[in-house]
Amino acid sequence: MKISRILATKGRRVITTRPTITIREAIAAMLEHNIGALPVIDENEQLVGIITERDIIRNLAKDEKLFSQAVQQFMTRKVITGVAQDDLESAANTMTERRFRHLPIMDGSVLVGIVSIGDIVKAQRDEYRGAVDTLQTQIIEEQ
């Protein structure tokens, strides 16, 4: 199965943030949309980073003034991205090996979606359930 299948179900709308937004505002956006990661987009609409709840928690332990500081101070700048044609399995392997849970999906330099490890696990579970249902139907028909 390809990433494009997940995007077709979940949609291509991506909630993003700007590098100069404060961490307080980034947290508000995560809470409002019930998400744990925000791709960071600059004024030219280019992906320049990603900030996740994990970045915030890790840095909060070191710096209690973090809430009023800018996202760009804490975001990860070297973002690993995928494309809609990627297989779910290879995307899941990358995320597992590199220990992150969010993969922005690009079409050239344009951000066209984001998938989480949770989206991938759910898609794989639905696929396996569909395969089990088909096999059970075949067994019943053969009896």
Q: Which of residues 29-48 bind ligand AMP (CB under 6 A)?
A: 36-37
The site that binds ligand AMP (CB under 6 A) totals a number of residues, namely 14
Nearer to ligand AMP among residue 19 and residue 36 (C-beta): 36
Alpha carbons 118 and 23: distance in angstroms, whole number = 24
Nearer to ligand AMP among residue 79 and residue 88 (C-beta): 79
Residue 59, interface with ligand AMP (CB under 6 A)? Answer: no
Residue 18, interface with ligand AMP (CB under 6 A)? Answer: no
Asked if 121 contacts 23 with a C-beta cutoff of 8 angstroms, the reply is: no
Residue 102, interface with ligand AMP (CB under 6 A)? Answer: yes
Q: Which of residues 63-82 bind ligand AMP (CB under 6 A)?
A: 76, 79-80
Alpha carbons 103 and 16: distance in angstroms, whole number = 13
Residue 103, interface with ligand AMP (CB under 6 A)? Answer: yes
What's the number of CA atoms in the CB half-sphere (13 Å) around residue 60? 10
- Cα Dmax for the chain: 68
CA distances (Å), origin 75, targets 15, 20, 46, 64, 89: 15, 11, 15, 17, 26
Residues within the interface to ligand AMP (CB under 6 A)? 36-37, 50, 52, 54-55, 76, 79-80, 100-104
